[in-house]
Chains A and B, each alone.
Chain A
Amino acid sequence: MTALDSLLHRLSSLKITVTLLALSIFLVFAGTIAQTTQGIWPVVDGYFRSLYVWIDIAIFVPGGYEAPSASFPYPGGWLLGGLLLTNLLAAQVTRFHYTWKRSGILLSHLGLLALMLSELVTGLVAQEAQFVFVKGQTAHYAEDIREFELALIDTSQPDRDDVWVVPESRLKPGRTLTDPILPFHIEILSVYPNSRVDQNTPSGDLPYTIEPATESTGASGEPTVDFATARIRLIDPATGKASDDLLVSQWFRLPQPAQFGDRTLRLDLRHKRIFKPYTVTLLDLEHENYIGTNRPKNFQSHVRVNDHQTDDQFEALIYMNHPLRYRGDTLYQHQMEIANGQSVLQVVSNPGWLIPYISCTMITVGLTVHFFLSLTRFSRRQAKR
């Protein structure tokens, strides 16, 4: 037996399978409980789309009792999923016999592998965002309202602006960003994923205060949007000279002006922008109720799509249960406010959307085949007797 064989045998252990499944059950339990205090997407990212997570003990303490301030490390969803995948693949290699008798079970296991991989594909590359526009406007990018990003815009040049975009995952308090792509270092002093404004209380040079606020939770029952705020400092890498503390917030609806050295800047903390190779113009919108009621019968957006790369141009109607599919994106009619002429289209891009259908079909067919093969064998044995 080679070293690889020996390793694969160890990895294919059923004890490992059972242990990993038990760990997964507890992870799902903790991730569900955690949504009483955290938003659904931070939990999905922190618990399930991560290698490890620090689970706060307080989430298990019922309200009204004093919760200890402690947490413990625990394997995240991707680590457990990766290990289960490894375990299953190792079992396929070492323990399973590739015969017609086992074909049903093998097909079912391949379906299970595909199902696990589909979550990996979705977690890595799927995007979900929104086009929000009023009649006559053109949307050039979609906004992911679950994430924010910091944009630094250098407006010093007369003919163009330079934009640097720092994703939310890099905006960690206490961290200094020294990426060579940046013209200066950025020291992150504080980050509030959600914040509120108190206009009665001045703060420094500002006539108001922006304070941290509790993030909306996955158990709140109402869709809410968090407004992030951060305090940063720019540092000249050559001289080490630092700027004053700079406040950036999603409460500021337009980029904030700042001067650093000879650079004239605008700082913008905003929802994550996903630029599309096409634009969508809202030509018209329609909202019908069933006669004599206020029950919606149809929301409908009439849009024109303009592709700058292929020069494609066409018009389309998007309404309930009738999305527009274009360039791998699916545009759904999400919301509409007819009084303001505003329409919201949900833009979903998931290259792996077919995999769960395929994997479930494989599992179903595999189990059916296995059932009939077993039934046939059983019938033959009975006939011999």
Chain B
Amino acid sequence: MNHKNPPRVLSLALLTVIATVMAACEEEPIRHYPTRKHAFDAHAGHDHPPGHHPTDETSPQPRKLIVTPPAGWEPRTPSGMGEFAAFAKADGDRETKITVSQLVSNPRMLLMVINRWRSSQLGMDPIEQADIPSVIQPAQIADLPAQRITMVGTGDAPLSIDVVMLDLDGATYYLKLMGPADHVAELTGDFETFVANLRVSETQQGGAP
């Protein structure tokens, strides 16, 4: 075999590769399939094409957390990821905030948010997944089991974070009290009252996040 007689097999391979690359540029198709109506399972999924285990696409909406603004606190514009309510209370140059945020439940999120608070807001070392059970305490919101974590940062004027977390129908709600450690200690009672006043809506059709 020499360069004046190029093997046709390689030429065909060349064309095949070019055709494959061109085919890769095609758009993904829109799919259609029927599915049987079935009971809803929030974690196990609720639709299946033919040949798969059939379940339901339709289901009641999840419950949601109903927030009552804490007395004496000013409403603030939510700004953080998944945040949908925020309140603040100031005393001189000390200001403490209560924020309520909601994220889709996912085990990766808990460690991520705890470490974000510890590293970027409190100046603490991050923890490992295995450390989580040792830093959280049991709590309760509207007779539902919840979790609480309290952290005090480092430095001369440490910040403190007190968070109550509730898993509710596939979402995790984070209720966070954050501010200067001494101010947070004074306002812990307000925060606990705020948490005690939270209500959970009934299962409903149609929904807000």
Contact = CB atoms under 8 A, between A and B. Distances in A.
Interface in A273-319: 273, 275-277, 279, 287, 289, 294-296, 308-309
Contacts, number: 248
Interface string A92-129: 11111110000000000000000001001001100000
A95 B130 contact: no
B45 A295 contact: no
B71 interface: no
Contacts of A134: 43
Interface residues of B, number: 83
Contacts of B1: 98
B151 interface: no
B3 A95 contact: yes
B30 A164 contact: yes
Interface stretch (A18-26, A34-42, A53-61, A193-201): A193-201
B20 interface: yes
B158 interface: no
Contacts of B109: 225
A167 B30 contact: yes
B78 A199 contact: yes
A249 B28 CA distance: 21
A122 B57 CA distance: 32
A151 interface: yes
A275 B130 contact: no
Interface of A: 1, 4-5, 8, 49, 51, 78-79, 82, 85-86, 89-90, 92-98, 117, 120, 123-124, 132-134, 137-141, 151, 153, 155, 159-167, 169-170, 177, 179, 181-182, 196-201, 206-208, 210, 213, 222-225, 227, 249-257, 266, 268, 273, 275-277, 279, 287, 289, 294-296, 308-309, 335-340, 342-344
Given A85-B17, A155-B57, 8 more contacts: A93-B11, A139-B43, A139-B45, A141-B45, A164-B30, A179-B30, A224-B112, A255-B57
6 contacts: A86-B17, A140-B53, A170-B28, A200-B85, A309-B51, A339-B133
Which 10 A-B pairs give the minimum distances between C-beta atoms?
A: A199-B84, A337-B107, A93-B6, A153-B57, A167-B28, A251-B209, A296-B130, A82-B21, A165-B31, A98-B1
